[in-house]
Amino acid sequence: MPHITVKPFDTSCIKKGNYTKNTEVLFKAEDNFSSDELIAINHGHENFLLCLKKNPKSWLLKYDKVTRPLKVNLLKQGIADVSTGLNLEVLQSNITIHPTKLTPSSEYEKSIEDFTNIEFPFPSVAIEVGFGSGKHLLYQAIKNPNRLFIGIEIHTPSAAQVLKQIEILGLKNIWVVNYDARLLLEMIPSNTCHQIFVHFPVPWDKKPHRRVISPSFLEESMRVLEVKGRLELRTDSPKYFWYSMETFLGDTVSKTAVEIRKNEALDITSKYEARWLRQEKDIYDVYVTCREASETRVLDFDFSFKELVYKKELLEKISYKPELFDGFFIHFERLFKIGDEAILIKLAFGSFDRPEHKYIYLDKLQSYYFNSSPVKTLTNHKTHLKIMEYLNV
Ligand SMILES: C[S@@+](CC[C@H](N)C(=O)[O-])C[C@H]1O[C@@H](n2cnc3c(N)ncnc32)[C@H](O)[C@@H]1O
């Protein structure tokens, strides 16, 4: 991932303002408990953070995972502009920008915010969760030109790769969303999808809370699917297969229709599947059919902080231990000072199996989530109200 190492320098030279025509430094934030610093920039109409890690002889300037934009060239150019603007002595760099590789912003890349009051420009919609190399997603989109395929992938380089393929193949019926599918699904209107594909999800045997399939994912899938629409799981892991069966047929499910197939060949073989087939592993398909229409979901949660502003007393109040509540948690992870009058808090919060990772900016006049608000779910909103209560000293 893009980074440079630079000779140590006096960071007091980092000031708010324009460094180039396209790059503006918004603020600099210093970690309260280590020497790390964050530089907030606006580049190419996107706000994101760069992280400065100070080792004794050289410093590392790199991207921040929570706020990183999808396009790697934006990151590279942002780092390059900051480095040139500050006149940094670069010791090592991997940010060569290849002009031919610059991709214009793609109309097929959607952000989580785009899904507030979304309308689909196709008569039918399907979702693929964790599309990886995108082989199956692209195949389906080519085969069904009148259906919109929403590919949701948490791994940013995979999402960027597939966006390139969409441009190359000239496809008009795919949207790519670089986000946690478990959260995004909650933004999709009820009764709208024909299929939800979950092919070869990561088994997460040691961290089951990270699995895509869960009782709440099943519930959301059934809400989002149209009547007779299907959730389609394909896995090579016997453990995941049995875990899914327990989830699909468990106590919380009163009525369902589940179909199982073993070693069914599909028209298209993904990269992962090819590997398992070479190893002669069994492949399991589980199809869960939606049987009932669901109620409409209204997403009108407000994630603003209203009158909340920064007060010095807050520095004493914040506890860095995770706090558990009924159905959600809040974990303030790090605090960064922006001069004497503002702070940036890094936190994880929300439901246990679908946590959000965000920053909150607070100064004497205003507070907001940097660089985007949480997904509009009931649990996130409940947590947001608790965060507001907590920060209001
Ligand atoms: C084992 S790979 C399978 C990729 C592809 N479906 C295939 O069959 O080749 C699992 C993929 O799911 C993605 N993934 C894992 N958890 C996810 C989540 N919560 N939301 C979206 N994508 C996720 C991973 O980044 C990875 O690309």
Question: What is the whole-number distance in angstroms between the Cα of residue 45 and the centre of ligand 1?
Answer: 28
Give mean pLDDT, residues 329-351.
97
Does ligand 1 come within 6 angstroms of the Cβ of 158?
yes
Does ligand 1 come within 6 angstroms of the Cβ of 156?
no
163-176 pLDDT, tens digit per residue, is 999 999 999 999 99
Given a cut of 70, is residue 94 above it in pLDDT?
Answer: yes
Q: Is 109 annotated as a binding residue?
A: no
Helix 156-169 / helix 72-85 crossing angle, nearest 10 deg: 110
Question: Which residue has a Cα nearest atom 18 of ligand 1?
Answer: 180
Does ligand 1 come within 6 angstroms of the Cβ of 350?
no
DSSP letter (8 states) at residue 45: T
Indicate which atom in ligand 1 lies nearest the CA of residue 128.
6
Give mean pLDDT, residues 33-37.
96
Given a contact cutoff of 8 angstroms between Cβ atoms, the answer to whether 163 and 105 are in contact is: no
Give mean pLDDT, residues 348-364.
95
Confidence of residue 19 (pLDDT cuts 50, 70, 90): confident
Measure the CA dihedral 111/112/116/121, to 10°: 50
Pocket residue to mutate for ligand 1, from 65, 110, 112, 131, most atoms within 8 A of Cβ: 131
Distance from chain centroid for Cα 158: 13
Nearest of 319, 286, 287, 304 to residue 388 by alpha carbon: 304
Distance from chain centroid for Cα 11: 31
Does ligand 1 come within 6 angstroms of the Cβ of 272?
yes
Does ligand 1 come within 6 angstroms of the Cβ of 152?
yes
This prediction's pTM:
0.88
